[in-house]
């Protein structure tokens, strides 16, 4: 074995979509899996670092608005008779209009520590806070973007930054509202941000491009950004069909539903990630699958905002690919996201174990986890497909002393992790073969918490 390869031994690891016993794991110096050896004999284990629990691959959090961590828990009161996504959005803007680069870095650093602790090892930042609080560009146009980069680098979190195009307030509008002044961007400014961050970001930082929504851009700008992303091999993300009003407004403006219009007017392919798609029809979902695009499902935010329930049975029956995101960060746990995704289906359909009928296995949790894991590459354009040679060596060590896992048979471990709460813990988290969480907590936690509290007091005190 060459000196630049680090060897680990796991008593149990999630390989090829199932639990495998006595696994010898080898990681290259650049942080990718060199080899995976199941059922390793005792002699082969000698010299390997012994991991103290079962090993799962890290997951991609495919949709994040980091600044919204600053409003988690602060939008749960209502003074009117009606409260929906649009009234929530107005309250969210109060944070968007105030937060500074230093405050954003403090909020994002604590968020990324939480995400790492929960087993996410890469996050896709759908980033549209570009300008100063007065709506004018910063002296350094990268000020807000680099705040997110610094936060990720401090924590050792993988980051896919998605500078986001936002040009108008609605389908019939010609520009932005005053309370959207920080979002203003053009295809050219977006490409500048993406290229500059790619050059300056360093290891485990890459970029893609995002279009906020069909209502926020015109057709020419959409095509320009999509062509630029494809030419550079970048992932491209877009919010779509999240709420009923959005669908109705799109039909009024274009004579077609959002997904229907996008698929007929853009060259949608495997680079595309459609975020939410909550208000979609089975025919549209089948067409998404046929295009090669993936969907990013954000169960906790879609529930929190009253968006509706994603049609998982129709999409999986069509063979669709998907990933998960925590979006507004009302929860920072993939276990809770997958649990809520499945439970929302059960509540809607009055049946159990909906995801168990997806191809692959009879395990509901196993099918959900495998699907979310497989979606990581589409969301990031990075080799983040799990524990396999050539993939980035992102993994977590499960703490089997977690109350939810006590006495659970080994082959039911993932089922208990998703469907027995409170969430099972991870004792160690590795990104590209480097340990970033030890003992279940990032080393910097006291400082992170202090900086976060200071930022919150400045924002809301």
Residues annotated catalytic, as ranges: 276, 327
Shortest CA distance to 383 belongs to which of 18, 28, 37?
A: 28
Cis peptide, bond prior to residue 42, ω within 30 of zero: no
- CA triplet 380, 385, 386: central angle to 5 degrees? 135
Q: Where are the beta strands (DSSP E) in 247-375?
A: 272-276, 294-297, 321-324
Give dist(CA 340, CA 423) in Å, integer: 13
In whole angstroms, give the CA distance from residue 236 to residue 242. Answer: 17
Going by DSSP bridges, is the β-strand pair 426-431/395-398 parallel, antiparallel, or unpaired?
antiparallel
Closest CA to 451 of 442, 203, 92: 442
Question: What is the full DSSP assignment across 142-173?
Answer: THHHHHHHHHHHHHT-EEEEEEEE---SSTT-
29 near 88, Cβ under 8 Å?
A: no
In angstroms, the Cα distances linking 284 to 237, 260, 314, 458 are 17, 6, 10, 45
Bridge-based pairing state of the strands 395-398 and 55-57: antiparallel
434-438/205-207 β-pairing: unpaired
Q: How far apart are CA 371 and CA 374, in angstroms?
A: 5
Cα distance between residue 370 and residue 365, in whole Å? 8
d(CA 367, CA 362): 8
């Amino acid at each position: 074995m060459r000196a630049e390869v680090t060897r680990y031994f796991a008593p149990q690891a999630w390989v090829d979509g199932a639990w495998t016993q006595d696994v010898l794991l080898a990681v290259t110096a650049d942080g990718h899996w060199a080899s995976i050896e199941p059922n390793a004999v005792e002699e082969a284990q000698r010299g390997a670092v012994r991991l103290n629990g079962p090993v799962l691959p890290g997951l991609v959090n495919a949709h994040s608005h980091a600044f919204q961590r600053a409003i988690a828990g602060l939008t749960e009161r209502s003074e009117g008779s009606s409260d929906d996504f649009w009234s929530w959005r107005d309250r969210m803007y109060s944070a968007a209009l105030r937060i500074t680069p230093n405050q954003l870095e403090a909020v994002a650093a604590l968020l990324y520590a939480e995400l790492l602790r929960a087993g996410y090892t890469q996050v896709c930042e759908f980033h549209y806070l570009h300008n100063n609080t007065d709506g004018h560009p910063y002296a350094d146009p990268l000020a807000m973007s680099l705040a997110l980069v610094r936060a990720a680098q401090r924590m050792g979190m993988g980051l896919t930054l998605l500078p986001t195009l936002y040009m108008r307030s609605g389908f019939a509008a010609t520009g932005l509202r005053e309370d959207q002044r920080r979002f203003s961007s053009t295809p050219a400014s977006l490409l500048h941000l993406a290229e500059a961050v790619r050059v300056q970001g360093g290891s485990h930082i890459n970029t893609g491009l995002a279009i906020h929504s069909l209502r926020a851009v015109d057709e020419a700008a959409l095509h320009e950004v999509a062509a630029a992303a494809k030419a550079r091999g970048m992932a491209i993300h877009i919010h779509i069909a999240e709420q009923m009003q959005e669908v109705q407004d799109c039909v009024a403006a274009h004579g077609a539903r959002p997904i229907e219009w996008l698929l007929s007017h853009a060259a949608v392919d495997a680079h595309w990630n459609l975020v939410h798609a909550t208000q979609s029809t089975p025919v549209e979902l089948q067409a998404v699958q046929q295009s090669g695009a993936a969907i990013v499902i954000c169960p906790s935010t879609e529930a929190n905002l009253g968006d509706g329930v994603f049609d998982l049975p129709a999409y999986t029956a069509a063979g669709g690919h998907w990933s998960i995101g925590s979006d507004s960060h009302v929860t920072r746990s993939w276990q809770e996201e997958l649990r809520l995704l499945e439970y929302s289906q059960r509540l809607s359909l009055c049946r159990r174990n909906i995801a168990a009928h997806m191809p692959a296995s009879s395990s509901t949790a196993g099918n959900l986890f495998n699907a979310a894991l497989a979606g990581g590459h589409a969301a990031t354009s990075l080799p983040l497909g799990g524990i396999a040679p050539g993939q980035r060596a992102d993994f977590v060590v499960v703490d089997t002393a977690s109350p939810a896992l006590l006495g659970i048979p080994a082959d039911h471990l993932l089922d208990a992790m998703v469907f027995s709460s409170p969430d099972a813990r991870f004792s160690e988290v590795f990104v590209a073969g480097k340990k970033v969480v030890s003992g279940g907590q990032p080393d910097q936690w006291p400082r992170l918490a202090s900086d976060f509290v200071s930022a919150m007091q400045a924002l809301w005190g």
